[in-house]
Chain A
Amino acid sequence: MQKALLKVENLSFKYDKEYVLKDINFELYDKDFFAITGPNGGGKSTLIKLILNILKPQFGTIELNNSIKSSLDIGYVPQNTNINLDFPISVLDVAMMGNGSKHNTLKRALNINYTKLEIECAKNSLAKVGMQGFLNTKISNLSGGQRQRVMIARAICSHPKLLILDEPTSSIDINGQKEIYSLLKELNRDITILVVTHDLTVISNYANRVLYVNQEGFLHNLKQDRFRVNKDEHFCEVELMQMLGKNGGQN
């Protein structure tokens, strides 16, 4: 049995009195394309923030594999990348932010500007997402899909083992969405991917496992044939809920 990259056990979280997440259990394996879905307010983003250590779990544990030593080994693409659109910043500068310094503090203190290595690294990430031709473009002059690619480049800049994306295509047109997911599929050869999404075609065509979160979690290993949808066919959320909720996924 393969060792889990991430192991979530009996995880519960409440903001005030009400539980947002209750008794969540799942494991994430190397090279998974793992989807988290569920209704709005069902706790998906909270779960991600717990994994990223932005929030601290109140009950239960989140165990990371030894290969994930620091937050730099997890790449993150936040949900709303359309904030701060007027910000005067170039594509390269955004990608560069992914370079959390791995140096020790003294070295870092002496290191005021970006190093050549950091710049190269950011350029490579941008090339990987097909944005190498836009290095000096202002971020506001990009389309939604292009901007999302830059955010992905920022996230993979530090060569993470795990890439987490929170609804990466929510504000992108259909073609842009397809491009983003085929890009993720490509990245998936080297990186484990965990994606929050409402898009059921994505779940059926790309993900190998899915967690349905609505306060509680229902885990499914997707055999692609059992769960395939046609290109034009869309599941509605209720159908999926029934399918995933009833079919007795492990709680």
Chain B
Amino acid sequence: MVDKTNGRVKLMIEALHYTFVQNALLAAIMVSIVAGIIGSLILVNKMTFLAGGIAHSSYGGIGLAIYFGLPIFFGASLFAVFSAIIIALISFKQRHRLDIFIGLVWAVGMAIGIIFVDLTPGYNVDLMSYLFGSILAVSKEDLIFMATLVVIVLIFIHRFYKEILAVSYDSEYATLRGINAKLFFTLILILSALTVVVAIKVVGLILVIALMTMPTYIAEQISNSLYGMMIKSAIIASIFTITGLAISYQFDITSGAAIIIVGATILSIFMLIKKILA
């Protein structure tokens, strides 16, 4: 038994020599950082469903990119940002009917994606890899895109932390104090859209919302500042993704699903402990 475990650990350490495994780890950490930070903003602003709509609609961009032969990230980002802006505009005008429009954006985006993939001659797309992630196929371009987003997100948070905090906590009061709440909501949504797009590679667009909510939910309860919540979320998300990745490699199962199950298990244990301590 001990020998077997040792053998497995050895196997995993050997795996670290492969470039694709290194890339996967790097991608997992970078995506965890943005998912932790932007996920915190989504959670405290109660925008999970909005982010879900944007995530699914981004498949429309994937379909378009495949059809026109553009880079997938580029197509998906463009489409997701477009959806984010539409949802932001609707939320300012029709706040109480917003759920309907989110559902629309959600479904129409996916439909567009599927149709364009169908129309692409000779293309046998692996839909599953977009829905559930394909982290072991991360390319150098993907890593550059992810790193760029990490930098943008960090600059945004550093520069506008006060404003973001004020708008997220009490947008009406923030408006009274001269902060443009609508602008910041739109920016948060656009960054969510981009986060969703990079996370697609790691966990896929169906599971991305779980990666953005489970670590942040734990972090929220053990933090007394938004800043602290963001840092803790990023760390917890990294633990989820790296553990999930190891399990997925070991048992040859889909990485995204493994990451989410790891997350759900840790979240359950956390809630159980909290209940016992309370």
Q: Which residues in A have some Cβ–Cβ distance to B below 8 Å?
A: 52, 54, 71-72, 76, 78, 83-84, 86-90, 93-94, 97-98, 100-101, 112-114, 136-138, 154
Interface bits B145-177 vs A (CB < 8 Å: 1, else 0): 000000000000011011001101110111111
Q: Which residues in window 197-231 of B have CB below 8 A to A?
A: 219-221, 223-226, 228-229
Considering only CB atoms and an 8 Å cut-off, how many residues of chain B contact the other chain?
26
Known contacts A89-B165, A97-B166: does B173 contact A78 (CB below 8 Å)? yes
Residues of the A chain whose Cβ atoms lie less than 8 Å from the Cβ of B165: 89, 93, 97
Docked complex Cα distance between A97 and B164 (Å): 11
Task: List, in ascending order, chain A residues with CB within 8 A of B177's CB.
Answer: 71-72, 97-98, 100
For the complex, give the distance between the alpha carbons of A100 and B137 in Å. 48
Partner of A89, one of B172, B175, B176, B224: B224
Closest to B172 in A: A78
B246 on the interface (CB 8 Å rule)?
Answer: no
Query: Chain B contacts of A93 at CB under 8 A?
Result: 165, 225
A99 → B minimal CB distance (Å): 8
Q: Which residues of B contact A86 (CB under 8 A)?
A: 44, 220-221
Known contacts A90-B224, A90-B225, A94-B169; is-contact A114 B162 (Cβ 8 Å): yes
Main secondary structure of the interface of A (DSSP, over half): loop
Partner of A97, one of B159, B173, B220, B225: B173
Q: List 15 A-B contacts (CB under 8 A).
A: A71-B176, A71-B178, A78-B173, A83-B170, A84-B169, A88-B228, A89-B165, A93-B165, A94-B169, A97-B165, A97-B174, A98-B177, A112-B161, A113-B161, A136-B224
Contacts of A100 in B (CB 8 A): 176-178
Asked if A89 and B225 make an inter-chain contact with CB atoms under 8 angstroms apart, the answer reads: yes
Cβ contacts under 8 Å, A101 to chain B: 178
Q: Quick check: A54 and B220 within 8 Å, CB to CB?
A: no
B174 and A76 form a contact (CB under 8 A): no
Q: A78-B172, A86-B221, A97-B174 are in contact. List 16 more A-B contacts (CB 8 A).
A: A76-B173, A78-B173, A84-B170, A87-B169, A88-B223, A88-B225, A88-B229, A89-B225, A90-B224, A90-B225, A97-B169, A97-B173, A100-B177, A112-B162, A114-B162, A137-B224
Residue of chain B at shortest CB distance from A99: B177
C-alpha spacing A72/B179, complex, angstroms: 12
Q: A76-B176, A88-B220 are in contact. Are A97 and B226 (CB under 8 A)?
A: no
Residues of B within 8 A of A52 (CB): 176
Given contacts A97-B166, A112-B158, A114-B162, contact A54 B175 (CB under 8 A): yes
| Contact between chains at A54 and B172 (CB < 8 Å) | yes
User: Given A97-B173, A97-B174, do A89 and B226 touch, yes or no (CB 8 Å)?
Assistant: yes
- How far, in Å, is A137 (CB) from chain B's closest CB? 8
Smallest CB separation, A54 vs chain B (Å): 7
A86 to B173, CA, bound (A): 18
* Cα distance, A218 to B44, chains bound together (Å): 42
**Residues of the A chain whose Cβ atoms lie less than 8 Å from the Cβ of B158:** 112
- Bound-state Cα–Cα, A83 to B162, Å: 20
Across chains A and B, which 6 residue pairs bring their CB atoms closest together, nearest first?
A100-B177, A138-B224, A88-B223, A88-B229, A97-B166, A90-B224
- Name the A residues within 8 Å of B228 (CB-CB): 88
In the complex, chain B residues whose CB is within 8 Å of the CB of A87: 44, 168-169, 226
- Assuming the A-B contacts A78-B173, A97-B170, A97-B177, are A88 and B44 also in contact, with contact meaning beta carbons closer than 8 angstroms in the complex? yes
Hey, which chain A residues are within 8 Å of B44, CB to CB? 84, 86-88
Measured between alpha carbons, how far is A78 from B176 in the docked complex, in Å?
11
Q: Cβ of A137: which chain B residues have Cβ within 8 Å of it?
A: 224
Tell me the minimal C-beta distance from B125 to chain A in angstroms. 40
Contact B176 A54 (CB under 8 A): yes
Query: A109 — nearest CB in chain B belongs to which residue?
Result: B159
Q: How far is B204's CA from A116's CA once the two chains are assembled, in angstroms?
A: 45
Q: How far is the CA of A18 from the CA of B226 in the complex (A)?
A: 42
Are B170 and A78 in touch, CB under 8 angstroms?
Answer: yes
Q: How far is the CA of A154 from the CA of B177 in the complex (A)?
A: 11
Residue in chain A with minimal CB distance to B179: A100
Would B226 and A88 count as touching, CB distance under 8 A? yes
Across the interface, which residues of B come within 8 angstroms of A113, CB to CB?
A: 161-162
Q: In the assembled complex, which residues on chain A have CB atoms less than 8 Å from the CB atom of B159? A: 112
Give chain B residues whose Cβ lies under 8 Å from the Cβ of A72: 177
Residues of B within 8 A of A97 (CB): 165-166, 169-170, 173-174, 177
Q: Smallest CB–CB gap between A84 and chain B, Å? A: 6
Chain A CB within 10 A, most for which of B161, B162, B172, B226 = B162
CA gap between A52 and B228 in the complex, in Å? 33
For A89, list chain B residues within 8 Å (CB): 165, 169, 224-226
